[in-house]
């Protein structure tokens, strides 16, 4: 095992039964981030995913898993009509779509999915993000890379999808091509590494859909070994509660509500929206200066006869909220650069 992949010395809070978690020699095939070993060894979703995948994939689990990637169009991506662009991007990257499932995040699933990252998020960002994720169904797309690879498919795609931070994205990234608006409205989500593929499927899918997914992965890998193309599907997106408006249009809509009312909350909200019209790039600073938080935002909109869960509200709030606390995420690295540097155990040749 490479030195950087040694299991942390802190003992897990439970002692898993033999076979329910990866062995020491398995971890480098799953992740290049040591913190994930520390947390995932006790993580019930990861252990569920590990057991289910190992049973379905057999001795070839590492090869099949490392060729599998997960991409989810979130409800904001569905409202943004991003499906066709996403499928074109996947095809251009050499990914075959072998399965797809509608998924409903809900507060509990979302919290569990990002539990090791959201500890660093502000309460306002979490509130807006939960509303975005609860705005409709998402679409989980299961991809398989049958061609030559030098890094796990999940890690490759997690890199090319682009950063959640707009300023860190590259011109050819998926989020750039789709026009993901900001840190909150990122449109798509992808599992970062094979370990995350294992952990995320039990969170968002029923056991029946998990089993169907792993059967599709095994069939795709069997076809690859036989020199045949995998069986593919054409995903159909769920109905959208959309469309997703651009920021200027969303601000104008909310301003119309505030100008029709003269109470204190409406004036306070209107002052914030006026400031956003003048200098939208300073939105978080305006949010602070006007003393707005999510609860006040929602209350003020209701008092103006507007819906705080509307896309107009969520688009404006997603630009304006202060995103992060000073704390670091529990798991900070996605492991992409380490895979590219050859630090993991890549076997999917």
70 three-state secondary structure: strand
Statement: the pTM of the whole predicted model exceeds 0.85: yes
Token pair for 169? 């994205």
Alpha helices in the chain (DSSP H): 34-40, 44-57, 61-66, 75-79, 83-92, 106-113, 123-133, 153-160, 174-178, 194-204, 207-225, 247-259, 264-278, 283-289, 294-303, 311-320, 336-340
Contacts of residue 281, defined as CB under 8 A and 6 or more positions apart, other chains included, come to none
pLDDT score recorded for residue 19: 60
- Say how far apart CA 211 and CA 221 lie, in whole Å: 15
Q: Quick one: which of 159, 190, 173 has its CA closest to 74?
A: 190
**What is the CA 319 to chain-centroid distance, rounded?**
18
CB 288 within 8 A of CB 222: no
Q: How many other CB atoms sit within 10 Å of the CB of residue 58?
A: 10
Question: What does each of the 349 residues of the chain score in pLDDT, given as a tens digit?
Answer: 444 444 444 444 444 454 678 999 999 999 999 999 999 999 999 999 999 999 999 999 999 999 999 999 999 999 999 999 999 999 999 999 999 999 999 889 999 999 999 999 999 999 999 999 999 999 999 999 999 999 999 999 988 999 999 999 999 999 999 999 999 999 999 999 999 999 999 999 999 999 999 999 999 999 999 999 999 999 999 998 889 999 999 999 999 988 877 677 788 889 999 999 999 999 999 999 998 999 999 999 998 889 999 999 999 999 999 988 767 899 988 888 899 888 999 996 6
Tokens 């033999």 sit on residue: 18
- Say how far apart CA 178 and CA 220 lie, in whole Å: 28
- Say how far apart CA 274 and CA 290 lie, in whole Å: 11
- Say how far apart CA 213 and CA 191 lie, in whole Å: 15
Each domain of the chain, given as residue ranges in start order, spans 32-240, 247-320
Relative orientation angle of helices 294-303 and 311-320, to the nearest 10 degrees: 150
CB 66 within 8 A of CB 194: yes
121 three-state secondary structure: strand
- How many H helices and E strands in the chain? 17, 4
C-alpha angle 201/188/319, rounded to 5°?
A: 130
> What CATH number does the domain located at 32-240 have?
3.30.70.141
């Amino acid at each position: 095992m490479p030195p950087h992949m040694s299991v942390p010395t802190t003992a897990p809070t439970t002692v898993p039964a033999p076979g329910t978690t990866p062995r020491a020699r398995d971890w480098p095939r799953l992740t290049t981030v040591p913190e994930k070993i520390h947390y995932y060894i006790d993580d019930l979703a990861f252990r569920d995913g590990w057991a289910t995948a190992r049973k379905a994939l057999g001795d070839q689990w590492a090869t099949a898993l490392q060729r599998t990637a997960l991409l989810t169009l979130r409800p904001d991506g569905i409202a943004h009509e991003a499906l066709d662009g996403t499928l074109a991007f996947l095809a251009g990257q050499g990914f075959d779509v072998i399965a797809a499932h509608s998924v409903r995040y809900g507060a509990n699933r979302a919290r569990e999915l990002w539990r090791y990252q959201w500890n660093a998020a502000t309460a306002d960002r979490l509130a807006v993000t939960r509303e975005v994720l609860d705005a409709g169904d998402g679409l989980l797309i299961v991809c398989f890379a049958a061609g030559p690879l030098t890094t796990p498919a999940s890690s490759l795609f997690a890199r090319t999808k682009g950063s959640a931070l707009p300023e860190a994205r590259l011109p050819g990234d998926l989020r750039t091509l789709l026009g993901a608006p900001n840190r909150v409205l990122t449109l798509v989500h992808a599992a970062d590494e094979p370990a995350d593929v294992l952990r995320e499927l039990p969170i968002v899918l029923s056991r029946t859909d998990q089993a169907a997914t792993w059967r599709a992965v095994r069939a795709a890998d069997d076809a690859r070994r036989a020199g045949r193309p995998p069986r593919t599907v054409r995903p159909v997106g769920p109905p959208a509660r959309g469309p997703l408006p651009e920021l200027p249009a969303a601000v104008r809509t909310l301003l119309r509500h505030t100008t029709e009312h003269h109470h204190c909350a409406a004036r306070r909200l209107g002052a914030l929206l006026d400031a956003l019209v003048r200098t939208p790039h300073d939105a978080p600073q305006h949010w602070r200066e006007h003393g707005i938080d999510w609860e006040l935002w929602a209350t003020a909109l209701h008092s103006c006869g507007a819906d705080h869960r509307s896309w107009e509200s969520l688009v404006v709030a997603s630009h304006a909220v202060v995103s992060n606390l000073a704390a670091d995420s529990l798991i900070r690295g996605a492991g992409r650069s380490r895979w590219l540097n050859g630090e993991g155990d890549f076997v999917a040749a």
